[in-house]
Amino acid sequence: MNILAIESSSKKLIVGLYIDNKVLKLSSSKINDTANALPLLTKQILKNSSLKHTDLDAVCISTGPGSFTSLRIGMSYAKGLSISLDIPIIPISTFETLIHNFTDDNIHILIYSHGKTFYLCDYKLQR
């Protein structure tokens, strides 16, 4: 399964590709450049993997919280790919992607958005 992943909730865009049980990733070198960088990074990561857009089976997109403009760009791009390629979109909360980096049962995640805006989420894991 070939899944393109887009993380556009922060100021720095990250594009990943799940292929052959491996995860590849590229990130934008510029801050706040999602609109320009997203199609370029997608093209580059597919080229690096010798894939075409039509080889994608799904698009995974971060749903935030985070920068509204960057999230909107990422989601619009994912929806465009989904519709044009007739593949599903897999939405994933930015918070939920981060909890897997911790081993404690009580997790507190703080995400900076912009200005004086932060998002906080508390998790209590049940194992």
Give the confidence band of 49 by pLDDT, cuts at 50, 70, 90: very high
Of 11-25, 69-83, 93-107, the poorest mean pLDDT is in 93-107
DSSP string, 48-111: HTT--GGG--EEEEE--SS-HHHHHHHHHHHHHHHHHHT--EEEE-HHHHHGGG--SSEEEEEE
Distance CA 50, CA 75 (A): 25
Which overall architecture, per CATH, does domain 3-94 show? 2-Layer Sandwich (3.30)
Confidence of residue 103 (pLDDT cuts 50, 70, 90): confident
Res. 4: pLDDT tops 90: yes
Residue-wise pLDDT tens digits, 81-97: 999 999 999 999 988 88
